[in-house]
Structure 1
Amino acid sequence: MPPSPSPSPEAAADTVQEGTATLPQPKAGQPVKGFTLIATESNWKLAPGVTQAVWTYNGTVPGQEIRVTQGDFVRITLKNELSVPVTIHWHGYPVPDGSDGVPGLTQDAVKPGETYTYGFSADVAGTYWYHSHQESSAQVDKGLYGALIVEPKSSEQPDKDFTLILDEWMNAGGDAHSAHGSAGMSDEEMMAAMYNIYTVNGKSGSLITPLETKPGDTVRLRFINAGYRSHGIHIPGEFRVVSTDGQDIAEPAVLKDQIVTIAPGERYDVELTIDSQKDFTIDAHDNNKYNDQLVIPVKVSGSNGEKMEVQHDQLTAFDLLKYGKPAESELSKVQKFALEYTAVLNSKMNGNQLVYTINDKVFSELPALQVKTGDYVKLTFENKSAVDHPMHVHGHFFQVLEKNGVKVESTVMKDTVLVKPGEKIVVAFKADNPGNWMIHCHELHHAAGGMAQQLVYTDYKSSYTPPTNAANKPE
C-alpha cells in the first residue's frame, strides 16, 4: 500500500496554552525526547581559507540534528540569542498548526532574549529538516537550519546512516536577500555567480567529511537540499531511491548510472551496499558553476586508497514519477475535489523591482485558499516563468497526479515538487491537518519576492491572534 497522506498527529493529545500558541502534550506513557536549540552567532569555516560570520542553532552549521524514534513526543525549546527575531519551521513534517513556525500565521517571531517551545508526536518516519521561517531567504542563507530524522520504530536499520545537507553560500560581503529585489539579483546567471561556495553539512571541497564504511555495509544516505539551487547527485554503482520527502517508495528498483536531481526543500533517501573494497566519491553532475566543490568522499576500510573507476559519459537522469510500483491510492480514486485551484507561476517588474507571482499577484494581494477538514484538494502548478519553482505545501503530503497532461502511474507522495519552466504539475491531498498553512516556492528568494499563498481551514480556530505591531516577516 502507498503511504497515506498526512495524519492529524495530535488528534488524541491534550493541549495546554503557552504564550500565544497551543502547545500539544504527550499522551499517557508516550516517550518524550527534549531538545534545546539556541539561535546564536558564530564564526564558521566553510572552505579552505574561508571563515564567515554565520547564524546557527547551537553553534554549528547545520544545527544540531534532531533524531528521534517513531512514536516519540518531541519537545524543542528555541532560545533566541541573536539580535533579530527568529522561528523554527519543521519542513515537511505534518506538525500541529501551533508548531509550524510561520511568524504572523501560527506564532509571533521569537524576539531576542525570548524562548518558544514547539511540540509534536513523531508519528511519521522519514527525513525532514528544520529552518527559520522569519525572513527565511536571509536567515537560512546565514545558516539557520538542521536535520529532523524520525527513525521507523520497527524495521531493520542500515549499518551506516548518513545525513547530507546541501547548500550554497556567498563568499563574504554580499546580501542576496536585500540585493535580490533592488539590484537585479533575480537574474539567474548573477545569482549563480554570487553563490560561489557549495557545501555538504556546512563544509566545502576538501573540508567535506568522508563517509567511513566497510565492505558489506548497507548504507542509507539522507540528502536534504537547504539551498536555492537544484543539485544533480551521482552515486557510483548500484543503489535504490527508497524515500522522497519522508515518504517511502513502493518496491524501488535498483538503479545504476543515474543522476538524482534534488530541488530546494526536497529530500531523497538512497540505500546501497558497499560491494567493493575501493573508495569512491559522490559528486554533482548538472550545469551548476561550482560542482567541483561538491564532492563527498566515501572511504572503504581496507581499500589502501584504491579508487573505483566511473564512466561519467554514460549517466542518465532519474525520473521519480516513473519509479516505484504503481498502486491504488485514496487520492487517485477521488472523483470530485472540494477545491480545484490553478497557480500560474511567473514574475514581473513592479516599478524597478522584480517580483514573483501566483496568478499575477504577490503574497500580500492573494486571498487565502479555503478548505474544511475532510476536503479533497487539487492544486495545479503551471510555470510560465523562465526559472525553476520548487513548490512546497506546509502541513500535508500530496500525491503527484499529472505532469504536462500525462497521468503519473507511480504513487508518488511529496511535500515539495519541482516545477520547471513550461511545466504543469497537478497534485492532490486530503485536508486532514486543521490549521492555517503556507504554500510557497522554496527557492526562498522567490517566496520573499511574493510567490506564496495561505491555505486556511474554515472549520478551525487558531489559539493565536496576530498582533498588529509585531515584526513578523513570514518569508
Structure 2
Amino acid sequence: MKLSWKLKSIIAVGALSVVLAGCSGSMSGMDHSKMNMEGTKETAKTTNTQTEKSVVLTGKEFNLTASQSNQEIAPGKTLPVWTFNNSVPGPQIRVKQGDTIKVNLKNQLPEPVTIHWHGVPVPNAMDGIPGVTQNAVQPGQSFTYEFKADVPGTYWYHSHQDSVNQLDRGLYGAFIVEPKEGTDVDRDYTLVLDEWMSSGEMSGMNMSGGNMSEMDHSKMNMGSSDGKDNKSSMNMSGNLSGMDHSTMNMGNENKASTNTDNSSMNMGHDMSMYDLYTINGKSGSLVDQLPVKEGDKVRIRLINAGFLSHQIHLHGHEFKVIATDGQPINNPGILNDNVVSIAPGERYDIEFVASNPGQWLIEDHGDKAAVKGMKATIAYEGAPAGSDKANEAEKLTAVDMSRYGQVGKANFKLDQKYNLEYTMNLNTEMKNGEMVYTINRKTFPETEPINVKKGDTVKVRLVNNSKTDDHPMHLHGHFFQVLSKNGKPLEGSPIIKDTLNLKPGEEYVVAFEANNEGNWMFHCHDLHHASAGMVTELKYTDYKTNFVADPNAGNKPE
C-alpha cells in the first residue's frame, strides 16, 4: 500500500500554488446574469461573500494549477485537499457557445494528473484519459487542452487519473457553456455537491480493492483499434484494454469496517464514513447564501461531483427542471414539494421565480446526519434571518424524468432499425473471494467493447442486476437519448443525457449516433465501482490515433 494521500498532503503542505485570486472554494452567492462573456483573455470575476471569495473565470483561455492545500470544509474542520487554483471546487469556467477555448493545466502535485471534461463532446485527444488519449501530466509539467464549446449546458471538469482518489481529494470544478443568445435569467447559481470524511482520509487510499493505483499498468495494451485482439504489451493506439487486474486486492484493510450502507458492499470502503456533505466545498453554516430579489427568475445548476446520490428539495417555491446533463427539457411542468434525485456525475438545472419573500432553504433529504450540512439559503434582500426551517428528514417523491415534460421532436425511436444493439448487464459479484463490479459477468479489461463505425446508430440496453448498488453509467464523448424505463417507453420530453443512474432492478434502453470518432470510456461513475471493474469501451474500429502511451508515465485511467 502506498503512502496515504493525507500524509503526503501534510508533508507537502507548503507547496501551495495560486495562479489567480486565491479562493477557498465556494461558487455560490454570485449573480452571473450581467457577466461580460466577450473577453478574449482569462478574466477572474471575484465576489466577496459572507465567508470568502468566489472565482468565476470567463473568456477563451484559462490557467489551472493543480496543487495541495488545506480548506475549511465544515466549521472548525480543516482538511488537506488537492485543488485547482487553490480551491475546492476549482474555479467555475464559463464560456460562450461556439468559442474555441484553451485550458493550460500545470501540475504542482506530487502525482500525475489530467482533466476530463465531463459531458462535453470534445475531440478524443482532449478527453483527458491517461494512457488512452494522453499521458498523465507529470509533477512540474503542463498540458494544454483545446476544443470548441459547441453544445451549451451545465458540465464539469475533473481529474481522470486515479480518479476514485483524486476526485475525493477535490480535483474538480464546474464548466458552463452559455448559449449564443444568452440566458433569460436574473440569477444563475451553480451548486457542486460532494461528500467528505471528517477523518481526512479519502476513498481508495483505505480501499485496496477499489484502488486502481495499485494496478499493474505495465502490460497495458494500447493496441489496434480495429477490434482485433493484440497481445503485445504496449502497442500504441489508445485502447484501454490489456490492463493487469490479476493482483487487485479487494480485501478490507480496516477490519473494523462492517457497514454496507449506500451499497458499498464493504469492499474495503465504508460509504457511511462520508460524514460531511458539502455544497461548493463547504458544509453547514459555511455554505454561502444565494441572494435574490422579488421577481427574479433564478436558475440553479446542480452538479454531483461525489459518489452518493442526493435528494435536493427547494423550499417555498414552485420550480421546473429545465435541463438534465445540460440538455433542455421540452416544456417542463411546474413542480412543488418534489425532490430532484441527482446521482454521481449527473447535472440538473432547476428554475423558479422569486415570488415568496423570506429566507428559504435548498437542501438534501435523507436519514443520514450528514445531510444536515448540505443546504444553502435563498435569501431575499431585506428578509429576516432564519425564517425557514430545515426539514431534511421529510420523505418526498422524486421527479420521475421518464414522465416529465411534453413529447417533442426526438432523434430516435424505440422500434426503429439500428446498426448495432448491445446489452450491458451490470452486477455486483464475488470472484475469487473478492467483490467486483461486472458488465456481462466480466471486469475491465475483459469486458466486451462496443465496436462501431462513424455514422452508426446504436441501441444499448442497460440492466442493473445488483441487489443493493446503484450504477450511474457515464458515456464519454457522446450524448444518448433515453428511450424506455423498465420496458415502458418514455411518456414525456425526450431525455438526452451522458450519465444515467440505474437503481437495483432497473432497466433502461438508450440510443445514440456514433458521431465523435475515438476510443471512449463507458463506465459507472461511482468510481469505486469503475475501479473495481465496471468499465467498458466504445471503440471506433476505423479510428486511428497518433497518441503514443509512455509506459513510464504512471497512467491510471480510473
TM-score when normalising by structure 1: 0.90
1:101 counterpart letter in structure 2: G
1:332 match: secondary structure:
coil
Match of 2:426 in 1: 345
Name the CA shift for 1:318/1:333 in 2 (closer, same or farther; >3 Å): closer
Q: In the alignment, which residue of structure 2 is the partner of 1:238?
A: 318
2:180 counterpart (146, 153, 168): 153
CA distance in 2, matches of 1:441, 1:311: 31
Instruction: Please point out which of 283, 297, 302 is paired with 1:223.
Output: 302
Question: Residue 287 of structure 1: CA displacement?
Answer: 4.0
State how 1:296-335 maps to structure 2 within 5 Å: 296-305=376-385, 307-308=387-388, 315-332=396-413, 335=416
| Matching of residue 188 in structure 1 with residue 265 in structure 2 | no
1:123 equivalent among 150, 160, 172: 150
Residue of structure 2 aligned with 1:465, choices 548, 552, 555: 548
Residue 144 (structure 1) aligned with residue 213 (structure 2): no
CA distance in 1, matches of 2:200, 2:432: 27
Q: How does 1:60-459 map to 2 (within 5 A)?
A: 60-180=87-207, 181=209, 182-183=251-252, 187-188=260-261, 191-236=270-315, 237-305=317-385, 307-308=387-388, 315-332=396-413, 335-385=416-466, 386-410=468-492, 411-459=494-542
Cα RMSD (Å):
2.0
Aligned partners of 2:458 and 2:514 also within 8 Å: yes
* Structure-2 change in CA distance of 1:234 and 1:336 (3 Å): same
What one-letter code is carried by the residue in structure 2 that aligns with 1:110? V
* Distance change (3 Å), C-alpha of 1:360 and 1:288: farther
Q: 2 CA distance for matches of 1:139 and 1:91? A: 15
Alpha-carbon distance, 1:334 to partner: 6.5
Contact 2:169 2:202 in 1 (8 A): no
CA displacement at 1:148 relative to structure 2: 0.2
1:409 positional shift: 2.3
**Whole-Å Cα distance in 2 between the matches of residues 214 and 429 of structure 1?**
41
Greater alpha carbon shift after TM alignment, 286-295 vs 212-221: 286-295
Aligned-partner Cα distance in 1 for 2:384–2:488: 50
Flag the 1:99–1:112 CA change in 2: closer, same or farther, 3 A: same
Equivalent of 1:54 in 81, 90, 98: 81
| Structure 1 contact 216–274 (Cα < 8 Å) conserved | yes
Q: CA–CA distance in 1 between the matches of 2:414 and 2:272?
A: 46
1:365: how far off?
A: 1.3
Q: Which amino acid aligns with 2:532?
A: G
User: 2:87 aligns to what SS in structure 1?
Assistant: coil
Tell me which moved more, 206-215 or 308-317.
308-317
Aligned residues of 2:414 and 2:489 also touching (Cα < 8 A): no
Partner AA of 1:349 in structure 2? M
Q: CA deviation at 1:367?
A: 3.2
Secondary structure of 1:328's aligned partner: coil
Q: 1:308 to 1:448 in 2, by over 3 A?
A: same
Aligned partners of 2:415 and 2:101: how far apart in 1? 34
Number of equivalent positions: 447
Query: Is the Cα–Cα contact under 8 Å of residues 118 and 156 in structure 2 kept in the other structure?
Result: yes
Secondary structure of the corresponding residue to residue 82 of structure 2: strand
Once the two structures are TM-superposed, the CA of residue 156 in structure 1 deviates from its matched residue by 3.7
Maintained 8 Å contact 1:380/1:424: yes
1:316 is paired with a residue of what secondary structure?
coil
2:205 counterpart SS class = helix
CA distance in 2, matches of 1:434, 1:311: 47
In structure 2, the residue matched to 1:25 is: none
Secondary structure of 1:460's partner?
coil
Shift of 1:366: 1.7
TM-score by length of 2: 0.77
CA distance in structure 2 between the partners assigned to 1:57 and 1:310 by the alignment:
32
Aligned to 2:241: none
Relative contact order: is structure 1 or structure 2 higher (C-alpha 8 Å, sep ≥ 6)?
Answer: 1
Query: Gaps spanning 5+ residues in structure 1: where?
Result: 1-29
SS in 2 for 1:124: coil
Q: Which runs of 5+ in 2 are unaligned?
A: 1-38, 41-58, 210-250
Q: 2:365, 2:395 within 8 Å by CA — same for their partners in 1?
A: no
Give, in whole Å, the separation in 2 of the partners of 1:144 and 1:226: 10
In the TM superposition, residue 278 of structure 1 has moved relative to its aligned partner by 0.9
CA contact 1:382–1:424 (8 Å) conserved in 2: yes
Residues 302-339 of structure 1 deviation map (CA, whole Å, 9 limit, x = unaligned): 21336257988583221111111112322127722222
Quote the residue 2:243 is aligned against.
none
Bigger drift between 270-279 and 343-352 goes to 343-352
Q: Which amino acid aligns with 1:345?
A: L
| Counterpart-to-counterpart distance in 1, 2:448 and 2:271 | 33
Instruction: Identify the residue that residue 16 of structure 1 maps to in structure 2.
Output: none
Q: Give the SS at the match of 1:364.
A: coil
CA contact (8 A) 1:192 1:289 kept: no
* CA distance in 2 between partners of 1:248 and 1:408 (Å): 16
Contact map agreement 1:192 1:288 (CA 8 A) in 2:
no
Q: Decide which structure has greater strand share.
A: 1
Q: Is the 8 A contact 2:361 2:390 kept in 1?
A: no
